[in-house]
Amino acid sequence: MKKNIVCISENAFMSILISAIESYPSRFMGERKPNNSTAEGEVFGLLFGQKSEKPDSTIYNVALAIPTQILMLKNHFTVEPSIKHLEKVREIIETFPMYQYLGSYHSHPFHREEFFEGDSVIASDADVSYALWDSSCIEAEAIMAIIGLTYLTKKLTNVSPKSEWYYIQNYCGKYKYNLGAHVTERENNSLKVVDNLLCPFAFGINNCDLNSTKR
């Protein structure tokens, strides 16, 4: 059986991380949401790049992660994109031959007391249903990246990242995140974790102030 490998570029990872942090619920940080601001919670976006087949593996190279702005529903435990607006994004980006639609990403924001490592990137039943629907639309397997995110009371330093085959755990400022990846298996009508997730920037990012002369 072929292995499924997902490679996420630096630019794509930064889009995923920053969009998730921007929308992280203020109440999980012990703060109030600014008056008249739009809803906080999960974010959703589309992944583009190139898919390549090798004798022993299928490789998904994610070059772009595009956060979607138009949503039907958004809160701290779910997000529902507007299909009409997703199609607009796909139509435009796929006019560039170097970008192929590969799948989607979304965030799982947690209060720090409810954040549990690999569990934070486990796909929900709704995630599985969407991924299978997505896969049926493109008539090919689709990937789904999930970033689990929580906010800590203080910035941690000298903490080593952690990596399993399907997710990477690390820190950025006062935020702790897990980046995980899944792929559909249409034959079995299921969504499974990938055999290998590669994102050197997510793993190698240093939780320090790069403007400081002290490291």
pLDDT in tens, 137-167: 999 999 999 999 999 988 887 788 999 999 9
Per cent of the chain over pLDDT 90 is 81
Q: How confident is the model at residue 215 (pLDDT cuts 50, 70, 90)?
A: very low
Flag whether pLDDT at 213 surpasses 50: no
C-beta of residue 102 within 8 angstroms of C-beta of residue 66: no
Per cent of the chain over pLDDT 70 is 95
- Kindly report the pTM of this predicted structure: 0.93
Amino acid in the structure at residue 210: L
C-beta of residue 182 within 8 angstroms of C-beta of residue 129: no
Flag whether pLDDT at 206 surpasses 80: no
Which sequence spans correspond to the domains of the chain? 3-204
User: 3-204: CATH homologous superfamily?
Assistant: Cytidine Deaminase, domain 2 (3.40.140.10)
